[in-house]
Structure 1
Amino acid sequence: MSYFTPPGGLPGQSELLTDRAIVTEAYTVIPKGVLRDIVTSNLPGFTRTRSWILARPIAGFATTFAQLIVEIAPGGGAERPEREPGVEGVVFVTAGALTLRLDGERHVIEAGGYAYLAAGTEWAIANDGDALASFHWIRKVYEPLDDVAPPRSFVTSDAEVEPRAMPDTGGAWATTRFVDPDDLAHDMHVNIVTFQPGGVIPFAETHVMEHGLYVLEGKGVYRLNGDWVEVEAGDFMWLRAFCPQACYAGGPGPFRYLLYKDVNRQVRLTDPSGGPAGGRRW
C-alpha cells in the first residue's frame, strides 16, 4: 500500500503562488502544496513533533471533529497525547513506525496501521526508530448512549481488513470498514474508500454526516456542491453537513482516501439546560 505523506519544506521564490486551495460555505479543499513548514503547529506535551491541523470545529460549518497530520522525529512523542476529557480518537500511520502504548500494552504500528482510542483511554506514542514517522489523528467528543456500552480501543491495519465492494459496482468501489457500521456504540467511522480507475459515485450524496477526506493515493475529480474539483494524493477535502458530493476516479492506479464521518446518533434539538442545541447530533 502507498500513503502520501507531506514532505514539508517551502516552495522556491520563483514559483507561482497559484494553487487549488479554496474555502466555501459548503466545503474546503486544502491541497498538498499548502502543507509547508510555515503552517505547522506545535502540540502541548509532544517532543520533536510538528503537526498540520487540517480541520477543527467552526461555527456555521463543520463542528463534530478535528483532524491533524502529526510528524514525529526519532526520539520524539508524547506520554499523554489526549488531554481533553471525553474525547475519542483514531490514529492512522502513513509513514515510518510508531510505538503505541495502549492500556498497558505495547504495539508497534507501521504505515497502514490503525488504532481506535476510546474516550478515557490511557495511551502514549513515540518514535523509537531512526526515521521520521507520520500519522493522521482524528479527534471527536464521544457521545454516549444510556443503553449502549461505549466501544473499546483496538489496533489493526489496512492490510488486515478486507475491503467490502459496494453493491452492483463489480469491485470498482469498495470500503475498508474498521468497525461494524451497525454497531451503535460507535458514533464515528474512519474508513478507507477505494476506487479503481474509472470508478464513480454515481449520484450526488447529500446527507447529514460531516466529512474529512484525505487522499492517500491516486487522483480523481470530485463534485463538491456545484463545483468539479481535481484532487490528488496529499489533498484534503473538508465537507459540512448536506454538501452534495460525487466523484470520478482517475488513473492509472487506484484512488484511495481516508474518510471521517459522524454516525449513529439522533439529532438533538435541546441542550442539557433545555435551550436550543443548534441542531447538534447526539
Structure 2
Amino acid sequence: MNDSTYHSRLGGLPGQTELLSSKAIFTTAYAVIPRSVMTDIVTSILPHWDNTRAWIIARPMTGFAETFAQYVMEVEAGGGSLRPEPDSRAQAALFVTEGEMIVELDGGAHQLRTGSFAYLPAGSSWSVRNHSGSAVRFHWIRKVFQAVDGLAPPPAIFTHEGEQQMVAMPDTEGKWATTRFIDPADVRYDMHVNIVTFEPGGTIPFMETHVMEHGLYVLEGKAVYRLNADWVEVEAGDFMWLRAFCPQACYAGGPGRFRYLLYKDVNRHVPLW
C-alpha cells in the first residue's frame, strides 16, 4: 500500500502586489528553481504533443551539468503524443505525480497512475495518451544512452513506488531511506532514478562530493539543504540542480517527512576529451 503524496500543481501567476524576490539562484556549482517561479509564462510547448505544456527545469549546459534534461509535463484530458521523443539516442524515465495515462511501448500498452515509474530504452517506439477526464502530471527525464561494447542494452521497466522496497541507509534507524526503481547492480543502465525519504530529524551527515550530476525535485515536505557553501531552505515543488562534485548535505527538520525524486548518472567511464 502506498500512502505517498507528491507535489504536482505548478502554474498560475503571482499578483502585482507580491514581492519579486525569491530563493531562485543559479551558481557555477548548483541551481535552485523554486516552485514560486514555475509559472504559466515559463512553460514550453513541444512539437507533436497535443494539449500539453512542459516546465523544462534542466538541460545539458556546457560548463555546468551536461548529462540530462528534466521536464515537468502537464497533459490535459485527451492529450499526449504519438511522437514524443525526437532523438533516437535518448532514453527516458517517467514518474507520475498526479493522474493517469497510457504509455505504449513497441506495441504493448501500459497504464501508469500516480506513483508509477517507467524506463524506456533509447531507440524504442513509444507514445503517451491521456484517456482520463482530467490532467496527468509527470516528470520526464531524458538522457543520451551510453552504449558499452559487450553489454546488452537495458530492458524497459514499468513499476510503481508501492511495489518497491524502501531501503534504509546503514545505521540510520530508518530515518534516511531510498526507493530504487532501477537495480543499482545492473551496469546495463547508465542512470538511476530514485526517491529519497527522510523522516523528521534525518540527515545526510557529511558533505557528499562525487562525480555524479543530480536533479532533485522535492515531492513532499521541507528541509534545509547544503549546496556547495550555502544552506538553502527547500520545500515541495522546488528543484535543485547540482553539478558534478558540488558538495551537498541535508537536514530534515520536520514536522513531516521530506522526500525528493533524484536523478544521477552512473556506471560509465568518464569520457576523455
Q: Sort the TM-score into its range (normalised by shorter chain).
A: over 0.9
Q: 1:190 aligns with which of 190, 193, 199?
A: 193
Matched, 1:100 2:103: yes
Q: 2:49 aligns with which of 40, 46, 49?
A: 46
For 2:224 and 2:80, locate their aligned partners in 1 and report how far apart those are by CA, in whole Å: 36
How far 1:178 sits from its partner (Å)? 1.0
Trace 1:256-275 onto structure 2 (pairs within 5 A). 256-269=259-272
Q: Partner of 2:80 in structure 1?
A: 77
Q: Partner of 1:153 in structure 2?
A: 156
Matched, 1:122 2:128: no
Q: Partner of 2:256 in structure 1?
A: 253
Q: Is the 8 A contact 1:6 1:32 kept in 2?
A: no
For 2:271 and 2:104, locate their aligned partners in 1 and report how far apart those are by CA, in whole Å: 35
Matched, 1:6 2:12: no
Normalising by structure 2, report the TM-score.
Answer: 0.98
Determine what percentage of the aligned residue pairs are the same residue: 61
Matched, 1:224 2:251: no
For 2:77 and 2:24, locate their aligned partners in 1 and report how far apart those are by CA, in whole Å: 31
Matched, 1:244 2:247: yes
For 2:202 and 2:224, locate their aligned partners in 1 and report how far apart those are by CA, in whole Å: 11
Q: What secondary structure sits across from 1:91 in the alignment?
A: strand
How far 1:7 sits from its partner (Å)? 3.1
Q: Is the 8 A contact 1:55 1:66 kept in 2?
A: yes
For 2:131 and 2:271, locate their aligned partners in 1 and report how far apart those are by CA, in whole Å: 44
Q: Is the 8 A contact 1:142 1:187 kept in 2?
A: yes
Q: Is the 8 A contact 1:219 1:255 kept in 2?
A: yes
Matched, 1:180 2:186: no
How far 1:118 sits from its partner (Å)? 0.5
Q: 2:236 aligns with which of 213, 223, 233?
A: 233
Q: What secondary structure sits across from 2:36 in the alignment?
A: helix
Q: Is the 8 A contact 1:201 1:246 kept in 2?
A: yes
Q: Which amino acid aligns with 1:263?
A: V
Q: Is the 8 A contact 1:173 1:195 kept in 2?
A: yes
The root-mean-square deviation of aligned C-alpha atoms, in Å, is: 0.7
For 2:110 and 2:144, locate their aligned partners in 1 and report how far apart those are by CA, in whole Å: 24
How far 1:223 sits from its partner (Å)? 0.4
Q: What secondary structure sits across from 2:269 in the alignment?
A: coil
Alpha-carbon deviations, 1:226-268, whole Å to 9, x = none? 0000000000000000000000012121100000000001112
Q: 1:64 aligns with which of 67, 70, 87?
A: 67
For 2:59 and 2:107, locate their aligned partners in 1 and report how far apart those are by CA, in whole Å: 30
Q: Which amino acid aligns with 2:19?
A: L
Normalising by structure 1, report the TM-score.
Answer: 0.95
In structure 1, list runs of 5 or more residues that go unmatched: 270-276, 278-282
Q: Partner of 1:142 in structure 2?
A: 145
Q: 2:34 aligns with which of 23, 31, 35?
A: 31
